[in-house]
């Protein structure tokens, strides 16, 4: 158990990047980079104790500087989509970057995974952590307010990877932070993830238009291929002729979780029968974007492995997409001086 560091090279701007390697008493390992505060590797034991790296990613810093698919990415200031790349707070309209046709995706083309962070490490009884912090200046990506950001990744001896986000702004703003890791419990190099099984504790998802912008309606999952209340193979229904599945090109939807918003609670799981690896997801956020890697096409990753369509699945815990433009959605507005504090845990067994 402990934390070690390793040089990760220089960014194109000449900044020295470092990898932080967190290890628990079971040999589970999580590797993060201070460039981007990204999750680079996650080594998880199977039922026989054999470790496998269960997240898609790259070997080099230069690749993380591009990373168009957001492997392991820390996403902000506002994850997911903002319709028309504009919103209004306190009567003032703000325009952000339309990096996905007319809409803004993940804060713009330079998301929070493209900046350097200050790092600090902590070793406690049964838990090791790395804390990344940074000040996102007023109007960066077009969002108001100097935002003080701290992301803490903790690996516990219970095989939990906990992510805590803490921010404070000096102006009213919007904040919606997430992690975009693509999981494949058989290993990042094992081909399609569709043979694995998923479960999501949600009775509804946010319906969208063709451009993946929420209509404002919540659609009941009952009797549809979107229903994951009981664990089932990811392959089941992913090719079905159901409108939402067609629009998403597979699973790429925000599930409205059955949560009370208090402490992080169990909301979803992913299971790989062959290896016996099980991942449970806990969060205090109201939604999770389930994205089944539909846009992956022959992306060259770690060890030259070619990642193909649906080789990994993301569980992006979040406030609903385009929430700022929907009064009936939980609000992403964070007032001046108010703390935005949320926790998501990925727990492995």
Residue 314 makes contact with ligand GLA by CB under 6 A: yes
User: Does 70 help bind ligand GLA (rule: CB under 6 A)?
Assistant: yes
The residue (of 42 and 105) whose beta carbon lies closer to ligand GLA is: 105
User: Residue 155: CB partners within 8 Å, gap ≥ 6?
Assistant: 22, 23, 24, 28, 29, 30, 127, 128, 129, 161
- The contact mask relative to ligand GLA for 92-131 (x = CB under 6 A, - = no) is -------------x--------------------------
Nearest 5°: the CA angle 341, 68, 65 is 80
Closer residue to ligand GLA (CB): 28 or 256 = 256
Q: Does the annotation count 262 as an active-site position?
A: no
CB of 79 to ligand GLA, least distance (A): 8
- Tell me the closest approach of the beta carbon of residue 6 to ligand GLA, in angstroms: 28
Q: How far apart are CA 178 and CA 235, in angstroms?
A: 25
CB of 55 to ligand GLA, least distance (A): 15
Could you give the count of Cα atoms lying within 13 Å of 133 in the half-sphere of its Cβ? 8
Among 180, 188, 253, 326, the one annotated catalytic: 180
Q: Which of 69, 150, 154, 206 binds ligand GLA (CB under 6 A)?
A: 69
Query: How many residues can be counted in the chain?
Result: 349
Q: How far is the CB of 46 from ligand GLA (least distance, A)?
A: 27
Cβ proximity to ligand GLA: between 154 and 289 the closer is 289
CA atoms within 13 A on the CB side of 312: 27
Interface residue with ligand GLA among 33, 289, 311, 343 (CB under 6 A) is: 289
Instruction: Tell which residue, 176, 195, 177, has the closest CA to residue 185.
Output: 195
Rounded Cα distance between 102 and 86, Å, is 10
With respect to ligand GLA, which residue has the nearer C-beta, 16 or 217? Answer: 217
Strand, helix or coil for residue 328: coil
Distance CA 190, CA 311 (A): 8
Rounded least distance, CB 31 to ligand GLA, Å: 22
Stretch of residues binding ligand GLA (CB under 6 A), selected from 50-58, 201-209, 276-284, 289-297: 289-297
Q: Does 291 bind ligand GLA (CB under 6 A)?
A: yes
Question: 28 or 105, CB closer to ligand GLA?
Answer: 105
Measured from the CB atom, the residue of 144 and 198 that comes closer to ligand GLA is 198
Stretch touching ligand GLA by CB under 6 A, among 113-121, 145-153, 185-193, 287-295: 287-295
Catalytic option among 269, 280, 316, 326 = 316
- Per CB under 6 A, does 295 bind ligand GLA? yes
Instruction: Say which residues have a Cβ less than 8 Å from residue 182's Cβ, sequence separation at least 6.
Output: 55, 56, 69, 71, 72, 293, 296, 307, 311, 312, 313, 314
Angle at 195 between CA 296 and CA 106, to 5 degrees: 35
- Contacts of 293-296 with CB under 8 Å at 24 or more apart are 293/56, 293/182, 293/193, 294/248, 294/249, 294/250, 294/251, 294/252, 295/69, 295/249, 296/69, 296/182
Question: Does the protein bind ligand GLA through residue 252 (CB under 6 A)?
Answer: yes
Could you say whether residue 269 binds ligand GLA (CB under 6 A)? no
Work out how close the CB of 312 gets to ligand GLA at its nearest, in angstroms, rounded to a whole number: 11
In the bound complex, which residue of the shown chain has the CB atom lying closest to ligand GLA? 291
Q: Minimal distance in Å, beta carbon 106 to ligand GLA?
A: 6
* Cα-based angle 226, 231, 234 (whole degrees, multiple of 5): 60
Residues forming the active site = 180, 316
Q: Which residues in this chain contact ligand GLA in the complex, by CB under 6 A?
A: 69-70, 80, 105, 212, 252, 289, 291, 295, 314, 316
């Amino acid at each position: 158990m402990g934390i070690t560091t390793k040089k990760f090279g220089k960014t194109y701007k000449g900044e020295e990047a470092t990898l932080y390697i967190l290890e628990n008493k079971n040999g589970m390992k999580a590797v993060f980079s201070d460039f981007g505060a990204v999750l680079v590797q996650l080594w998880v034991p199977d039922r026989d104790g054999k470790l496998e790296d269960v997240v898609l990613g790259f070997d080099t810093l230069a690749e993380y500087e591009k990373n168009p698919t957001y492997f392991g990415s820390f996403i902000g200031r506002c994850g997911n989509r903002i319709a028309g790349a504009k919103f209004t707070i306190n009567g003032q309209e703000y325009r952000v970057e339309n990096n996905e046709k007319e809409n803004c995706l993940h804060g713009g083309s330079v998301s929070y995974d493209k900046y350097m962070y200050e790092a600090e490490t902590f070793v406690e009884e049964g838990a090791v952590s790395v804390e990344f912090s940074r000040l996102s200046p007023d109007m960066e990506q077009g969002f108001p307010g100097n935002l003080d950001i701290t992301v803490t990744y903790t690996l516990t001896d219970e095989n939990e990877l906990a992510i805590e986000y803490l921010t404070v702004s000096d102006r009213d703003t919007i904040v919606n932070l997430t992690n975009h890791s693509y999981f494949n419990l058989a290993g990042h190099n094992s081909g399609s993830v569709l043979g694995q099984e998923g479960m999501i504790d949600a009775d509804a998802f946010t319906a969208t238009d063709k451009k993946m912008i929420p209509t404002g309606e919540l659609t009941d999952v009952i009797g549809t291929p979107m229903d994951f209340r009981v664990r089932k193979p990811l392959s089941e229904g992913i090719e079905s002729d159901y409108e939402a599945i067609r629009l998403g090109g597979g699973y790429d939807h925000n599930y409205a979780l059955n949560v009370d918003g208090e402490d992080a609670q169990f909301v979803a799981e992913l299971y790989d029968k062959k290896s016996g690896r099980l991942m449970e997801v806990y969060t205090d956020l109201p939604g999770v974007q389930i994205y089944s890697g539909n846009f992956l096409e022959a992306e060259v990753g770690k060890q030259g492995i070619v990642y193909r369509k649906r080789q990994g699945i993301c569980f992006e815990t979040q406030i609903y997409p385009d929430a700022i433009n929907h009064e009936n959605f939980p609000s992403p507005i964070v007032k001046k001086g108010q703390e935005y504090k949320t926790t998501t845990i990925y727990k492995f067994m």
